[in-house]
Amino acid sequence: KRKYIQAAKTLTVREVVNLIAKKDSSRQKEGKDSAKRVRGQRRCERCGEAGHNARTCAVEIVNVSNSNKSK
């Protein structure tokens, strides 16, 4: 999303630097820059351990219907 500062006259370098400084200081006051999202470590869907995914998981899933038939 583009924001235009002024369209009527050209700005000097000093004016641009001042406008950027004001914008950055207002962002820091709001705390937008410091509140970045930190992702957690990804885990396997089958066993819940980190370091691999469900496709490469070495844990065997026991079928409940087969275990009842053997008894």
50 beta partners: 43
Q: Could you tell me if 14 and 8 are in contact, meaning their C-beta atoms sit under 8 angstroms apart?
A: no
> Tens of pLDDT along 24-56?
877 666 555 556 778 888 889 888 899 898 888
Q: Could you tell me if 34 and 25 are in contact, meaning their C-beta atoms sit under 8 angstroms apart?
A: no
Claim: this prediction has a pTM higher than 0.75: no
What pLDDT, on the 0 to 100 scale, is given for residue 28?
63
Q: Could you tell me if 4 and 18 are in contact, meaning their C-beta atoms sit under 8 angstroms apart?
A: no
Residue with tokens 């469900």: 54
> Tens of pLDDT along 5-24?
656 677 788 988 998 888 88
What pLDDT, on the 0 to 100 scale, is given for residue 12?
86
